[in-house]
A and B are shown apart, each in its own frame.
Chain A
């Protein structure tokens, strides 16, 4: 039996034998060159402190079976799928993790990240205590000193430059309560420059979708995809980004024999499980969709009845689509006409069809327009508002949906109320503070109603000449909570911005790229914040289900939770008493249950009013009662009977009203009290003499069997339904309305009476409108294909240029100038390869947390670039060798390993976006406070990515730029 061979050869031999079982396939994979042969001890030398050999670590286990074991339930802090995590705790130590079989979302499963999550709270690499930079050296300080020094500096900046000189960057990893608190905090501080990761992942989705049919969220759920017959992924690699969603999708694919189409410039892991893969050129989504619609309209495959009843403006779309005949589409997108015809026909005919997109669609200069094109395709084929269909937007971080809902956004107060005077007055009523006092916190009323600076542009607001930034002064301080520093393009410029700031504060479990990348010497503070596993609160999964996580262990080291840190800061800044007037605070920690109750009291517009902490906790305790497909509990079950899991918003009325939540949005097959609905009447009632209300379509059991506008007290009166209001409800409405009570609406009525009465009559509070495919208030009301800023096709730039330069969000957007200069300089000659970016399953976001997790870091030890074999051969690049990737701006360059693969087409390169700690060839490990450097470091793709911003949201262009690659 013994074969004497070198270990590597032996290992390879065996793997090849494995492959033989699958038809003698080759065995190059992206980890094969990543030090993963079973015989070696990996890159141990590089990570120093990791011990080999001992299985057990004293502080982390094992379970002692003589001692009692406590079980705690929380939610995975990585992606938006929202897998339940079950922790076994002994003596305050998290000793084991068990599968959460009862969760209807994950049924015990995890991906690499969720299955490794226990490591986050053992944390050798966590930031352990507050630190500050003193003449370039990290020093430990106390929490009290940190808060005092930061507070003093903030007040000084505020005095000299106004409240808008401070930026509050929040997090999609906050709980709902934390996100809400930071938004409220920014309001009390007096600025709208408060943002979070949604800006860079799905801001364009939210804008595009909300502007089409009402709300900016996934219409159905991961579970509901089990009902689909046709599933399209566009710019979504769910197998890596949302792995557990594949459990539902593959089951649907298998049981329904569903068609699965994957549109992507890259043959992804998801594509490997598709029934058909469609390779497109990055940044041509609109042309692809119009190309599909061309076939659909040409052949009459559209759903005419659905369009007539529920869609406004489709004829105007037809005119645009006519231009996109198969030959034009193929020239622009690279997709052959026959293939597109086949996919279009299947999508239109083999229904229900669902359309899934992610950052491949959203991170573009045309992001919002892309999203509206996808929606148009769904509407034209009648694929929204039912089971198994819909816009299934897979969101990114674990609470990016919730943090978006709760207003970590430069354009809105919590729950999409906007920034108008009416919105401020609503929240001032909820907060129980005087509106005039609130105005006094801001520079003036105009700035109070002006959108802030998006997170993609903060460093422009630091670096641009003062007169180009529409506020009193440049940005001077960044307060960053739970946000990576390598997530936004143009990093060389960002570094300059960092260096110019007077104050940089990073509150995070890890120091993050922000702390290590610049040459700052002073004025920099690190605050250790615990993970959501070490505190309690609710988070909203992608499907709008809200899940309550309980504290597994106490915050480790000296870390504190977000609530306490915000409270202490508010106290220092002098507004804690007002801000926490109606929220209980225990030992400087605001109680999250009480924060949620305040959200409930103000969250009418989005149906965040019915999800009390008690109801959410009952759901967590009764997870096993919910059906895996419908997400509903049987009506006769105690506590949660009839509810949908996690009370997905909108959950109308007060908690006592017991609305079950809404599993599928706009679904007319259900009664509104059973989670049914219609498209939202959000855009008025009429335009150019044409009705914007639905015609002959209404939700099951509606007493108004036609379209209707949103409900106000005035409308109730007209219908004679105001008589159904209780005295208390009427009194509240009249108090809010002052001399015009008729204008009080379903969204501003703090009693919930208007909602209740509408629902009792089978009507949805927000009205029954048509979805619109012409968004007349946006640039390009009908989406128009526009070439990326850095396009490989100068001829197409001439034909489909980007939008003219303009100003938005207080700063200029010079995309047109940049695009023109690129063409004039012939950039595409020197940088001939399209560069795109995306995720790896082991890491998440900027990656500092996951790259610090030894169980994950071991699986991906090198930053790499995927390059096609033809491009590699031309350049003499071999698999696994070092290369320089260079970009067209800032003389940017990155030293990474080459992964030569047909996964990317010729002329296309791909880089994952989770790496940092190397900058333009330089290893910055020494810049981290000792012991807090992530195990794996690497170059950031955003060192190379370039200029380009969506006109509606300021989303960056993260998916198309040009680059050159050469052997290093």
Chain B
């Protein structure tokens, strides 16, 4: 069974935000909610680098661990999903997530934020695959269609990779070997407890 992961090659990311709008487009994510974001460090200075961030679908996901109503679940590919029917909008997962992935439709105190939304790896949610109910709550289910996340598929520079962890690690390794540099598989240690050695 494949283990689906994300990898953002920071030496290629140009902060074009295609991944961000592709996600909006595919999942009709409303204004104010960003399942994916691009963060730039050293903005405007030598060493400037950008990374596209979303839920990393962690191994032993911390969000899942803290959820008081146990609304998270893993797909067999390792994707971390949740049920909006169970979610009570408490915000714990937001605090637990090392990547700031969980989002809420409203600003507010405990319980008044509305149902949590986050990147689903374009894999929908607990409702029947490709149903209207699933789309309405969670957006697209590309995985059920046999496709990969749109954000990665549309990445302008092929910086953002999605797919089986071993395959994307191999692609990244080959790139680093060819070009002779690489700032590492960002977030992998935190999310997957591993790094890619080149």
Establish whether residues A115 and B22, one from each chain, have CB atoms under 8 Å apart when the complex forms: yes
Does A55 sit at the interface, judged by CB under 8 A?
Answer: yes
13 A-B pairs whose Cβ atoms sit less than 8 Å apart in the complex:
A7-B107, A50-B30, A51-B30, A52-B33, A53-B114, A56-B136, A109-B155, A115-B150, A116-B21, A116-B22, A240-B14, A273-B11, A855-B21
Binding site for A on B (CB under 8 A): 10-12, 14-22, 24-34, 37, 39-49, 51, 53, 62, 65-66, 92, 94-100, 103-107, 114, 117, 130, 132, 135-140, 150, 153-158, 175, 178-180, 183-184, 186-187
Which B residues touch A968, using CB under 8 A? none
Closest chain A CB from B192 CB (angstroms): 14
Does A925 sit at the interface, judged by CB under 8 A?
Answer: no
Closest chain A CB from B180 CB (angstroms): 7
**Which of B11, B15, B19, B41 has the largest count of A CB atoms less than 10 A from its CB?**
B41
Considering the complex, which residues of chain A in the window 107-136 have a beta carbon less than 8 Å from any beta carbon of chain B?
108-116, 118-119
Does A160 sit at the interface, judged by CB under 8 A?
Answer: no
Question: Interface with B: A25-33, A380-388, A622-630, which one?
Answer: A25-33
Q: A52-B31, A246-B156, A858-B34 are in contact. List 4 more A-B contacts (CB 8 A).
A: A30-B40, A108-B154, A110-B156, A855-B21
Closest chain B CB from A8 CB (angstroms): 10
Establish whether residues A855 and B25, one from each chain, have CB atoms under 8 Å apart when the complex forms: yes
Q: Which of B48, B100, B107 contacts A15 (CB 8 A)?
A: B100
Which B residues touch A44, using CB under 8 A? 31-32
Establish whether residues B104 and A21, one from each chain, have CB atoms under 8 Å apart when the complex forms: no
Q: Which of B22, B31, B103, B132 contacts A38 (CB 8 A)?
A: B103
**Which of B21, B40, B184 has the largest count of A CB atoms less than 10 A from its CB?**
B21
Please report the C-alpha to C-alpha distance between residue A244 and residue B18 in the assembled complex, in whole angstroms: 10
Which B residues touch A42, using CB under 8 A? 31-32
Please report the C-alpha to C-alpha distance between residue A40 and residue B65 in the assembled complex, in whole angstroms: 24
Does A859 sit at the interface, judged by CB under 8 A?
Answer: yes
Please report the C-alpha to C-alpha distance between residue A632 and residue B10 in the assembled complex, in whole angstroms: 32
Which A residues touch B41, using CB under 8 A? 18-19, 22, 25-27, 29
Closest chain A CB from B110 CB (angstroms): 10
Closest chain A CB from B91 CB (angstroms): 8
Please report the C-alpha to C-alpha distance between residue A18 and residue B136 in the assembled complex, in whole angstroms: 32
Question: Interface on chain A toward B: helix, strand, loop, or mixed SS?
Answer: loop
Which B residues touch A62, using CB under 8 A? 28, 132, 135-136, 140
Closest chain B CB from A465 CB (angstroms): 47
Please report the C-alpha to C-alpha distance between residue A866 and residue B44 in the assembled complex, in whole angstroms: 10
Which B residues touch A277, using CB under 8 A? 46
Establish whether residues A858 and B184, one from each chain, have CB atoms under 8 Å apart when the complex forms: no
Establish whether residues A1 and B179, one from each chain, have CB atoms under 8 Å apart when the complex forms: no
Please report the C-alpha to C-alpha distance between residue A40 and residue B136 in the assembled complex, in whole angstroms: 21
Which A residues touch B136, using CB under 8 A? 54-56, 62
Q: Which of A2, A57, A115, A854 contacts B92 (CB 8 A)?
A: A2
Closest chain A CB from B78 CB (angstroms): 21
Which A residues touch B28, using CB under 8 A? 55-57, 60-62
Please report the C-alpha to C-alpha distance between residue A448 and residue B150 in the assembled complex, in whole angstroms: 53
Instruction: Provide the A894-913 mask, 1 if CB < 8 A to any CB of B, else 0.
Output: 00000001111000000000
Complex: chain B residue closest to A253, CB-CB = B179
Does A39 sit at the interface, judged by CB under 8 A?
Answer: yes
Total inter-chain residue pairs, C-beta < 8 Å = 242
Closest chain A CB from B131 CB (angstroms): 8
Does A334 sit at the interface, judged by CB under 8 A?
Answer: no
Which B residues touch A437, using CB under 8 A? none
Instruction: Provide the A243-280 mask, 1 if CB < 8 A to any CB of B, else 0.
Output: 11011001001110100000000010110110001000
Complex: chain B residue closest to A860, CB-CB = B17
Establish whether residues B44 and A240, one from each chain, have CB atoms under 8 Å apart when the complex forms: no
Contact of A272 with B48 at beta-carbon distance under 8 Å, contacts A39-B107, A53-B114, A57-B28 already known:
yes
Does A3 sit at the interface, judged by CB under 8 A?
Answer: yes
Complex: chain B residue closest to A50, CB-CB = B31
Which A residues touch B138, using CB under 8 A? 55
Q: Which of A21, A113, A841 contacts B184 (CB 8 A)?
A: A21
Establish whether residues A841 and B140, one from each chain, have CB atoms under 8 Å apart when the complex forms: no
Considering the complex, which residues of chain A in the window 58-79 have a beta carbon less than 8 Å from any beta carbon of chain B?
60-65
Establish whether residues B43 and A30, one from each chain, have CB atoms under 8 Å apart when the complex forms: yes
Does A181 sit at the interface, judged by CB under 8 A?
Answer: no
Establish whether residues B179 and A243, one from each chain, have CB atoms under 8 Å apart when the complex forms: no
Contact of A240 with B150 at beta-carbon distance under 8 Å, contacts A57-B28, A246-B157, A254-B178 already known:
no
Which A residues touch B184, using CB under 8 A? 21
Complex: chain A residue closest to B138, CB-CB = A55
Contact of A111 with B156 at beta-carbon distance under 8 Å, contacts A36-B34, A55-B137, A855-B21 already known:
yes
Closest chain B CB from A717 CB (angstroms): 54
Instruction: Provide the A915-950 mask, 1 if CB < 8 A to any CB of B, else 0.
Output: 000000000000000000000000000000000000
Which A residues touch B16, using CB under 8 A? 111-112, 239-240, 243, 246, 841
Which B residues touch A25, using CB under 8 A? 41-42, 47
Please report the C-alpha to C-alpha distance between residue A267 and residue B19 in the assembled complex, in whole angstroms: 24
Complex: chain A residue closest to B15, CB-CB = A269
Closest chain B CB from A7 CB (angstroms): 8
Which B residues touch A562, using CB under 8 A? none
Closest chain A CB from B143 CB (angstroms): 14
Does A464 sit at the interface, judged by CB under 8 A?
Answer: no
Q: Which of A60, A65, A115 contacts B18 (CB 8 A)?
A: A115
Does A635 sit at the interface, judged by CB under 8 A?
Answer: no
Establish whether residues A41 and B105, one from each chain, have CB atoms under 8 Å apart when the complex forms: yes
Q: Which of B25, B158, B179 contacts A109 (CB 8 A)?
A: B158
Establish whether residues B100 and A38, one from each chain, have CB atoms under 8 Å apart when the complex forms: yes
Establish whether residues B99 and A14, one from each chain, have CB atoms under 8 Å apart when the complex forms: yes
Establish whether residues A250 and B29, one from each chain, have CB atoms under 8 Å apart when the complex forms: no
